[in-house]
Amino acid sequence: MKRIEVKLSLPVVAPLLDVIRELAEGLRQNLAAPPGLTDLDEEFRAAWAGELLSAQTDDVQTLLALFDGEFFTEGVVAFDEDNAEVILRACAAVRLRLRERYLKPMGDEALESGDVDLMTLAEPLRKAFMCYLFLATVQELIIQHLDSSILES
C-alpha cells in the first residue's frame, strides 16, 4: 500500500486547524454543496441529504483526526490509500465553506492562483486564505503521490 508522510510546521498549521475546527461545526449541520434535488420526493430528498451530511461529518472528523496528539509531538501526518479519498472529500468540503464564508470577495482566480498579498489581508481573512491554500496542497499531494485508482472508485 502506498503511503506518504508529510512533516508540517506546528506553528504554521496549528492556527489553521482552529479554522478547520470552527468550520467543522457548521459542516455537521449543513452540506458544503447542497444538491439541487428539487424534482425529488420530499422524503427521499431529506433522506439523501441526511446521508450526505452524515458522510460529510465523518469525512471532516477523519481529516481532523490526522492532527492528533502524535501530530503535535512529531509534526507528521500520513496519507494512504485507505484515507485518501475521505481526506480529499473533507478538504473539498472545508474549502467550499471557506470560500462561501470568508473568501468569496476575493474571486476564484485569486483563490486558485494564490496570487494574493497576504500582508494586505485582515487577520481572519489571512488565516482563512492560508487554510484554503493548505487544504489545496493536501489535496494535490494525495492526487500526485497516491495511486490514481483510489480516485476512480
Phi, psi of 36 (to 5 degrees): -85, 80
Q: What is the pTM of this model?
A: 0.89
Q: Which three cell numbers stand for residue 128?
A: 482563512
With a CB cutoff of 8 Å and minimum separation 6, the contacts of 66 are 77, 78, 83, 87
Q: What's the pLDDT tens digit per position in 116-139?
A: 888 899 999 999 999 999 999 999
Please state the domain extents for the chain. 3-151
pLDDT in tens, 39-82: 778 888 888 889 999 999 999 999 999 999 999 999 999 999 89
